[in-house]
Structure 1
Amino acid sequence: MDNTRAVELYDTTLRDGTQGEKINLSVQDKLLIAEKLDEFGADYIEGGWPSSNPKDEEFFTKAKKLNFRNARLAAFGSTARKLDNILNDPNLNGLLNSETPVITIFGKTWKAHSDRSLGISDEENAELIRQSVTRLKNEGREVLFDAEHFFDGYKDNPAFAMNMLLSAEEAGADRLVLCDTNGGSLPHEIHEIVTEVAASTSIPLGIHAHNDSELAVANSLTALRAGAMHVQGTVNGIGERCGNANLISIIPNVILKMDGRFCHRLQLKNLTSLSKFVYEILNLPPDTKAPFVGRSAFAHKGGIHVSAVLKESALYEHIDPTTVGNRQRVLVSELAGQSNIRYKARELGITLPEDNAELFRTIVSRIKKLEHEGFQFDVAEASFELLLRQEMGQFNPFFEIIESKVHIESGKNREPVDQALLKVEVNDEIELTAADGDGPVNALDKALRKALRTFYPEIRNIRLVDYKVRVLEERKGTSAKVRVLIETSNGENTWSTVGVSTNIIDASLQALSDSLNYFLFSCREKAEA
């Protein structure tokens, strides 16, 4: 690996990642993930295929309003379909209409696909690639060429594969990305082929690996060692079939094991939180055994292991877990959780007392109890902050919900009715309110705001932007606990809160209450600053 050159980080979670089974992202989900990736330090964020569906077109329209500090947004699509219609090709025009600074197009570099799938000659395929890249370059865009099925194509017919690649280079492509689309290549094959291609081209090479042989990360790292300087993948390795190369594993390996660097200084200590954030947005349980970021990645249970780790962590840990935002866990030990809580407190600007052991034990005990019940504070920092400040005597709730009722009606040929009734106490005054809504949670949200507006008119400026429910004990069926995660915004900032209960209404009300309390507390802190 050439350590004098920085590696470009290209994330395709929002496009290739969404092709995975059980993966579904709303436009709002994609915007949230895009902002998080930019904050982390990604160089490129591939937002989707604008000509393929209305959702991606809406994403690109809304993404124009995002103020990226690090990343460049990329639209994805194919080469033109016909040589006689380059200027009016709907795919190329859709890519250009997305108005992204970067466009990534793929073309066939395996002769079998060109012959059987497209049914065109070698010369026509090369010309399609050349003219498509030229068209996009003439519009002033940075163009990345994804050489689809390149490694299979190269092994089958090196001359054909290279000819297609060189057609893109001659047309002015800025990057040539070699794709192991079927995910069947082995590391030694990747190394040999990338080395040979690097000797025959003059523009930077990239790698796009799939995980069908569970080698996507290894193949990506091998390609970087062989001369590539651009790596593509997804957060948590999500993607079609067995998934894409997992950037969450690639990033720390490049920085910590290969002495490499990326173009932007990545927030490596936020790697674990990034992984969890995307899992939560996807409404999927995190992989506890995931390398680097999994809950079990630095967990120790065996007596000999624990004894050694407490003396010197490096004896059983390949890296310091805090470098990737994770933590060492000693199972069945009072030590578990303390470092994580202190770390998160510092992150939120809260100073925990060093000389009050009893208070700290109380905080640790309460958080461990709540996490055991299903609360997850890594993705609900507003709830976590309120809990800490309440234990330290810095926060008292601005209101108390004394009673709640939800009325639901539905039936054949009947308009559905969802109504919430709340009894709320504020400053020793009782407010009784009722509100209709689009579903019981929306009705609760409206009723709660209605009760509080007289006392706290500033809540008119906030709105709920995301709501997710996850079943925590699936085997218990309808009696299982659920975790509700709510994202709220005032137009400038967003914050997340959480609620857990066997009753989805109760869990939702917990999260809603925390959201409003956090906002009111923040307003008071700002006014007193």
Structure 2
Amino acid sequence: MSANRIYLYDSTLRDGQQTQGVDFTVGDKIAIAHELDGLGIDYVEGGWPGANPTDDAFFAAAPTLLRARLSAFGMTRRPGRRPEDDAGLMRILGSGAPVVCMVGKTWDFHVEVALRSTLAENLEMIADSVTFARTRVAEVMFDAEHFFDGYKANPDFALRCIEAALNAGARWAVLCDTNGGSLPHEVEAITREVAARVPGERLGIHCHDDTGNAVANSLAAVRAGVRQVQGTLNGLGERCGNANLVSLLPTLMLKMGYETALSREDLRHLTHVSRVVDERLNRAHNRHAPYVGENAFAHKGGLHVSAVEKDARSYEHVQPEDVGNARKILVSDQAGRSNVLSLLKEVGMTIEASDPRIDRLVRLVKEREFIGYTYDGAEASFELLARRELENLTPPFELVSYRVMDERRMTETGAPFTLAEATMKVRVDGELHMTVAEGNGPVNALDRALRKALLVAYPVLVDMHLVDYKVRILGAGAGTDALIRVMIESTDGSGRRWTTVGVSSNVIEASWQALSDAVAYKLYAA
């Protein structure tokens, strides 16, 4: 085994499931396990057999993994029982997983208060459980719960717990910062002391993010000698989450020069895997996530963009392609000619840098942003604005008028509900269309009315739908008279996403601007 090799252990399917608002289905767990396997993770922890019906169903239909090893999580035997008489231990050993990870106490406070046991019996529980498990599965590892707190309180006992597991045949002893309260300098110092007594190639690290240091703590432990790193995709986990493997992986490989089971080509799938997990959970992806966020390689200031155009290394610490991401040039009131030229180039518009229309477009963007528009994150609206100014883009339809009514009604049981109705007149190819549609709200009604008017002429709109709608009040001090900004994110059958913006003192009008831009962009790009 290379001294530079780091083994990666993913606990998304168990630790991640403890995140508030996260509830994996069996299908979710199988799909994510396959994504982790394809990425090249060494160990995929499937869950805790016996803890809940979902985990039991997952292990009953466990996916076939080609690169990763499936792990089942559980506890060491309970006090006063033999391993073969402990139902919980027998369930994890009978799960069919070739690897088991058993958690046990290493903090004397927990042993005496939580377990109501003795330090001597705790050591026996660890050794007995590992010895017994080694006769039934291919690989055993020991999660040393609360290790860093335990080491600070009683270093000799905490170390004896680690040695009990390793001497009984555990492949790995994992040092856990279970409460997430340790700091990087503490983790590194303590881990060095442990590694001086126990070989680092048999040690792992498992950190929680309660001080925002889970990734830093994991890297500090690697520097001190551990060779297994545990974490979750996107930092999922209870309370503040676990160490984020999506941040750890490229840092270990691209920054620190460690080897993993991933090739550089595998690493290019990192952004995809990160976003697949959020899609599965119906969560908004963190745009500012390191390496994989939409804004991780976004450039807004004109000075930055000018430098990046000359050499991306001037404002980028790695190449976005190395992690499957892409550079993004934003246009805003901070923008200069460099931003606009770069973004025009991205959308395939060829125009000379000396063209006076560029200055006109930059001024227009800044004027519109001054009154509330934002093209930072609404690239579709910017592209339409640019093409109208520079290419005299003809609109695919013309709004003549619309009217929206909201009505509050009662069901037969007396429960209130609201219904919106939109009446719209739209001209398409010189022909006037009048449509009426109902919706669960005014924007939904407007959307339906517009589609009714356009679908005959533009059947490609059938697979388009809105996926996000955001409203922000601008200048809150003006109260209900304040300007309102609406951002709409749309998608279609191809999986493309685009965002548009509208601004008005009337929320319906602002919504209409963003909605009509969204439809126009779809028709232009179709």
Note whether the superposition's TM-score is higher than 0.5: yes
Mapping 1:138-287, distance limit 5 Å: 146-158=143-155, 160-162=157-159, 164-165=161-162, 176-198=173-195, 200=198, 205-213=203-211, 215-232=213-230, 245=243, 253-254=251-252, 257-260=255-258, 263-264=261-262, 265=264, 266-267=267-268, 282=284
Pairwise CA distance, 1:416: 1.5
Cα distance in 1 for partners of 2:390, 2:70 equals 43
In 2, are the aligned partners of 1:209 and 1:245 still within 8 Å (CA)?
A: yes
Equivalent residue, structure 2, for 1:5: 5
Deviation sequence 1:467-521 (CA, Å, 0-9, x none): 242536584565463443434342x524232334355444544454444444444
Q: 1:220 to 1:351 in 2, by over 3 A?
A: same
Structure 2 partner of 1:114:
111
Deviations 1:298-348 (A, max 9, x none): 9799xxx99x9999999x979579799678999977367358636xx54xx
Cα shift at 1:149: 1.7
Residues 488 and 200 from structure 1, CA distance in 2 versus in 1: closer, same or farther, beyond 3 angstroms?
Answer: same
Instruction: Say if 1:299 and 1:360 are closer, same or farther in 2 by CA, change over 3 A.
Output: closer
Is residue 466 of structure 2 the alignment partner of residue 459 of structure 1? no
2:146 aligned partner, one-letter code:
H
Partner of 1:434 in structure 2?
436
- Distance in 1, matches of 2:434 and 2:90, equals 56
Closer, same or farther: CA 432–485 of 1 in aligned 2, 3 Å: same
Structure 2: which amino acid aligns with 1:153? G
The count of aligned residue pairs is: 492
Matched AA of 2:150: G
Aligned residue for 1:194, secondary structure, equals helix
Residue matched to 1:409? 407
1:128: Cα distance to partner? 7.6
TM-fit CA distance, 1:185: 2.8
Are 2:487 and 1:488 equivalent residues in the alignment? no
1:399 aligned onto 2:397 = yes
State how far apart, in whole Å, the 1-side matches of 2:436 and 2:158 are: 67
SS in 2 for 1:337: helix
Residue 357 and residue 320 in structure 1: after superposition, are their counterparts in 2 closer, same or farther (change >3 A)? farther
Q: 1:461: Cα distance to partner?
A: 3.7
Matched letter for residue 405 of structure 1: R
Partner of 1:443: 445
Uncovered stretches (5+) of structure 2, i.e. residues with no partner: none
Structure 1 residue aligned with 2:374 = 375
Give the letter for the 1:351 counterpart: G
C-alpha change, 1:53 and 1:11, in structure 2 (3 Å) is closer
Q: CA 1:49 to 1:89, structure 2 compared with 1: closer, same or farther past 3 Å?
A: closer
Q: Which runs of 5+ in 1 are unaligned?
A: 525-529
For each residue in 1:115-137, what CA deviation from the matched residue of structure 2 results, as whole angstroms up to 9, or x when unmatched? Answer: 32243455468748975998899
- C-alpha separation in 1, matches of 2:74 and 2:485: 39
1:102, 1:392 → 2: CA distance?
62
Partner AA of 1:341 in structure 2: L
Q: Distance in 2 between matches of 1:135 and 1:370?
A: 67
Say if 1:485 and 1:107 are closer, same or farther in 2 by CA, change over 3 A.
farther
**After the TM superposition, which residues 11-160 of structure 1 pair with which residues of structure 2 at under 5 Å, given as runs?**
19=19, 43=41, 89=88, 106-120=103-117, 123=121, 127=125, 146-158=143-155, 160=157
> Could you state the TM-score of these two structures normalised by the residue count of structure 2?
0.64
Q: SS of the residue aligned with 2:114?
A: helix
Q: Partners of 1:177 and 1:441 in 2: how far apart?
A: 53
Alpha carbons 2:101, 2:143 under 8 Å: kept: yes
Which structure 2 residues correspond to residues 414-425 of structure 1 after superposition, within 5 A?
Answer: 415-423=416-424, 424-425=426-427
Aligned to 1:527: none
Structure 1 residues 131 and 399, CA gap change in structure 2 (3 angstroms): farther
Distance 2:404 2:134 in 1: 56
In structure 2, the CA distance between the partners of 1:220 and 1:434, relative to structure 1 (3 Å rule), is: same
Change (3 A) 1:399 1:296: closer
> Is the CA contact (8 Å cut-off) linking 1:107 and 1:145 kept in structure 2?
yes
| 1: CA distance, partners of 2:51 / 2:469 | 27
Letter in 1 for 2:206: H
Q: Is the 8 A contact 1:410 1:416 kept in 2?
A: yes
Please say which of residues 106-115 and 202-211 is displaced more in the overlay: 202-211
Report the TM-score when normalising by structure 1.
Answer: 0.64
Q: Name the CA distance, whole Å, in 2 between partners of 1:53 and 1:293.
A: 38
Greater CA drift, 416-425 or 77-86: 77-86
Work out whether residues 380 and 521 of structure 2, in 8 Å CA contact, stay in contact via their aligned partners in 1: yes
Q: Structure 1 pair 87/238, CA: closer, same or farther in 2 (3 Å)? A: closer
81 and 300 in structure 1: CA distance in 2 versus 1, 3 angstrom threshold: farther
Structure 1 Cα separation of the partners of residues 446 and 89 of structure 2: 46
CA–CA separation in structure 2 for the residues paired with 1:133 and 1:422: 74
Describe the shift of the 1:191–1:284 C-alpha distance in structure 2 as closer, same or farther (beyond 3 A): closer
Give the Å deviation of 1:193: 3.2
Cα distance in 1, alignment partners of residues 37 and 167 from structure 2? 35
- Residues 297, 90 of structure 1: alpha-carbon distance in 2 compared, 3 angstrom cutoff: farther
- Offset, 1:180: 1.8
Mapping 1:511-522, distance limit 5 Å: 511-522=514-525
How far residue 287 of structure 1 moved from its aligned partner, in angstroms, is 9.6
**CA deviation after TM superposition for structure 1 residue 111, in Å:** 3.0
Report SS of the residue matched to 1:151.
Answer: helix
RMSD: 6.1
Q: Which amino acid aligns with 1:5?
A: R
Q: Which aligned pairs between 1:242-391 and structure 2 lie closer than 5 A?
A: 245=243, 253-254=251-252, 257-260=255-258, 263-264=261-262, 265=264, 266-267=267-268, 282=284, 319=317, 334=336, 337-338=339-340, 341=343, 346=346, 350-353=347-350, 355-358=352-355, 359-362=357-360, 364-365=362-363, 373=372, 375=374, 377-378=376-377
Partners of 1:421 and 1:444 within 8 A in 2: yes
Shift of 1:371: 6.1
Q: How far apart, CA to CA, are the structure 1 residues paired with 2:502 and 2:131?
A: 52
